[in-house]
Structure 1
Amino acid sequence: MRAIEALVPRWPEGKRSCVALAFDLDGPTGGAMLDGSIWRNPSYFTLGAYGPWRALGRILDVLAGRDVPATFFVPAWVIENWPSQCRAIVERGHEVAYHGYMHEAFWTLTPDGQREVMASSTRIFERYLGVRPVGFRTPSGDWSAETIGILAEYGVRYSSSMRGDDRPYVLDAKSGLVEIPARWELDDYASLAYQRNPDYPAGLDRIASYDATLDNWCREFDGSHDDGLCMTTLFHPKVSGKPGRIALLEGFVDHVLQADDVWFASCSEVADWWIESKQ
């Protein structure tokens, strides 16, 4: 028995490990939208718009066919512009959560600026989807010292933004904010994203083999499952929701389903169970 076995949590119904599938439905939001350059680059805009407009439905069908839940972190601007597509996420039983308004880098915003983003996002989620989210994934991969307190002001109970463990953990004792850490190894951008101009990701001139990409994802699950941990993903519909690449998602989920002792859950379910199990 490896030493890590002493750290293995007990998941609901005696399941060995947990998988919380998560997708960042960014659309065309991000740096180019924030600086206005995307409006001079129709190709780049449509590359992002493909996510909510075309790829999302394909991903929802894959999840439905396997009866597994997922969490979608959605910039509020995307909800405003593709409301029916975003409503389909909720109607088909999945969770939606905060991801900024236009995918802002939270660490660059003042506390008031962060509050403004959270306030406008809350109004949009409630208006278009009838939902007040309890989860947050920082769009920028980082945040400022004030962010945790601001999230608590808006009823956020969990984050999936940091990298400090392979299991959920309490990120802030005062607010009780639970972190459900993701890892770059399970970010489809690392293997599959390609954009010629602007050059993003910087320096990328090719994409990885699909076989190697799927193998990497499956090996990450195997390690997490062996140690009884919690895995979540950083998948992007505009990247991996295309006709050829959707087979990677299908193959990954099917691989996980072969282990019949996995708890598939939304991120909010994971956070709630973790809080209750530690009381």
Structure 2
Amino acid sequence: MPATDLNPGAPRWPEGQRSCVALAFDLDGPTGDAMLDGSIWNNPSYFTLGSYGPWRALERLLDMLDERKVPATFFVPAWVVENWPEQCAAIVARGHEIGYHGYKHEAFWTLDADGQRAVMERSAQVFDKYLGIRPVGFRTPSGDWGPDTIRVLMEAGVRYSSSMRGDDRPYLLHAPGMAEPMVEIPGRWEMDDYASLAYHRNPNFPASLDRIASYDTTLDNWRREFDGSHRDGLCLTTLFHPKVSGKPGRIALLESLIDHMHAQGGVWFATCRDVAQWWRDNSASPTPQEAPR
């Protein structure tokens, strides 16, 4: 019996594959709140913690993906592209996808429509100047967006988002007055390496407990999430960060996770761009949803 027949409601992925995995990394560098308010320039430790991602960890990740012949999507703030253009160009040169992730990792829900448009326009100019590309994907830096965001994104040529949490399959988002829907490829906090591996010295709370999870436990959690997604024929994407999981000891977790996925068979590894296009072409989405307001 074919694997997909075990769950008649499961999507049928390309070439009869049972499930889909869209590996995705947020190459934030040192962008974020501290850069937006300027405090990062007085904190060399925090700046270098972020810059480790594009400067050192990215190449290690790209080598690992090459070895395992797995494509990935990198959501990159445009400021990171400006400051590490050669490293970001290597992402494209090695066959991976780059998507929008703000200019300096702005919280889109705090910006009005014109503010969001300004971020998208500046980002598009940077990607064109340094990489010669026009991304079609977007992941909100803040984990949320405002009522105008979907229209702003679609006007900027964005065809899919990986920002929301509404399903464990892609689905369609409709904006009032817009003929074409946007594909949403939802992520899950369970597949965010920050939840298990990020360390912050301040605030020191809870003081008596470890703030970095056991690597064995972390890998077990990620494997279980994949196993459930694979069993049910779903689409799993990740919210990994090179500066968090691209370090020499931690990259072994990613290697083991991908090897585990390969060992199960029947997995379609794809960029988020290819997942969104396939979903759109095959009209596989459940009932379209309204964009969040």
Band of TM-score, shorter chain: over 0.9
C-alpha separation in 2, matches of 1:54 and 1:26: 13
Q: How many residues align?
A: 276
- Residue in structure 1 matching 2:189, options 165, 184, 188: 184
Q: Give the distance between the partners of 2:110 and 2:147, measured in 1 at CA.
A: 11
Question: Who is 2:26 aligned against?
Answer: 24
| Cα drift, residue 259 of structure 1 | 1.6
- 1:118 corresponds to which residue? 120
| Maintained 8 Å contact 1:101/1:117 | yes
Structure 1 residue 202: Cα displacement: 9.1
Of 240, 249, 261 in structure 2, the residue corresponding to residue 244 of structure 1 is 249
1:158 paired residue number: 160
SS in 2 for 1:8: coil
Q: Which runs of 5+ in 1 are unaligned?
A: none
Partner of 1:257 in structure 2? Answer: 262
TM-score of the superposition, structure 2-length normalised? 0.91
Q: Identify which range, 73-82 or 6-15, moves more after superposition.
A: 6-15
Aligned-pair Cα RMSD in Å: 1.7
Shifted more, 65-74 versus 172-181: the winner is: 172-181
**Does the Cα contact within 8 Å between 1:194 and 1:205 map onto a contact in 2?**
no
Task: Quote how far apart the aligned CAs of 1:253 are.
Answer: 0.5
1:29-40 equivalences in 2 (<5 Å):
29-40=31-42
Distance 1:250 1:26, change over 3 A: same
1:134 maps to: 136
Match of residue 88 from structure 1: 90
- Of the structure 1 ranges 167-176 and 207-216, higher mean CA displacement relative to structure 2 is found in 167-176
Residues in 1 aligned to 2:145 and 2:246: alpha-carbon distance in whole angstroms: 28
Give distance in 2, aligned partners of 1:278 and 1:246: 36
1:274 aligns with 2:264: no
2:57 equivalent to 1:55: yes
Cα distance in structure 2, aligned partners of 1:184 and 1:43: 26
Matched, 1:227 2:232: yes
Q: Which residue of 2 aligns with 1:214?
A: 219
Query: In structure 2, what residue type is equivalent to 1:185?
Result: E
Q: Which residue pairs with 2:106 in the alignment?
A: 104
Q: 1:179 to 1:185 in 2, by over 3 A?
A: same
Whether contact under 8 Å (1:162, 1:182) holds in the other structure is yes
3-state DSSP class of the match of 1:97? strand
Residues 19, 231 of structure 1: 8 Å contact kept: yes
> How far apart in 2 are the matches of 1:115 and 1:208?
39
How big is the shift at 1:6? Answer: 4.0
**2:288 alignment counterpart:** none
CA contact (8 A) 1:194 1:201 kept: no
Q: Counterpart of 2:7 in 1: which secondary structure?
A: helix
Distance 1:44 1:31 in 2: 12
What TM-score does the superposition give when structure 1 sets the normalisation length? 0.96
1:70 — aligned with what?
A: 72
| CA distance in structure 2 between the partners assigned to 1:202 and 1:195 by the alignment | 11
Calculate percent identity across the aligned residue pairs. Answer: 72
Instruction: Report how far residue 209 of structure 1 moved.
Output: 0.2
Superposed CA deviations along residues 5-27 of structure 1, whole A, max 9, x for unmatched, are: 34311100000000000000000
Distance in 2 (CA, whole Å) between partners of 1:205 and 1:26 is 25
Q: Deviations over 1:126-183 (max 9, x none)?
A: 1101110000000000001110000011110000000000000001163310000000
Whole-Å Cα distance in 2 between the matches of residues 137 and 8 of structure 1?
25
Q: Describe the SS at the equivalent of 1:23.
A: strand
Q: Distance in 1 between matches of 2:20 and 2:205?
A: 30
Mapped to 1, the partners of 2:109 and 2:206 lie a distance apart of 21
